[in-house]
């Protein structure tokens, strides 16, 4: 999950509707954004913009509630 990219409520609701209509998934895992590739991009001469971030736990908990409205389980494989 990346702030400003895929953490707005409408994006999450659209994803849930798509998953319910087109798949038979057991659940989803909300993956944290990581920046492990930044050093590689810089070494290759690429700029790393914008600085992506992971949403705070309050936002994550809210999005989990939205997802649960669609009866999709939140999985945790960590």
Find out whether 38 and 44 touch, Cβ atoms under 8 Å: no
SS (H, E, C) the chain: CCCCCCCCHHHHHHHHHHHHHHCCCCEEECCCCCCCCHHHHHHCCCCCCCCCCCCCHHHHHHHHHHHHCCCCEEECCC
What pLDDT is recorded for position 41?
Answer: 83
Q: How confident is the model at residue 75 (pLDDT cuts 50, 70, 90)?
A: very high
Residue closest to 62 by CA, chosen among 21, 22, 9, 14: 9
Q: Model confidence over 9-63: pLDDT tens digits?
A: 999 999 999 999 999 998 999 998 877 888 888 899 988 777 788 899 999 999 9
């Amino acid at each position: 999950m990346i702030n400003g990219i895929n953490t707005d409520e409408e994006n999450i609701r659209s994803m849930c509707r798509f998953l319910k209509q087109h798949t038979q998934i057991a659940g989803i895992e909300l993956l944290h954004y990581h920046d492990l590739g930044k050093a590689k991009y810089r070494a290759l001469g690429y700029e790393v913009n914008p600085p992506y971030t992971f949403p705070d736990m309050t936002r994550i908990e809210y999005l989990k509630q939205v997802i649960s409205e669609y009866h999709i389980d939140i999985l945790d494989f960590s």
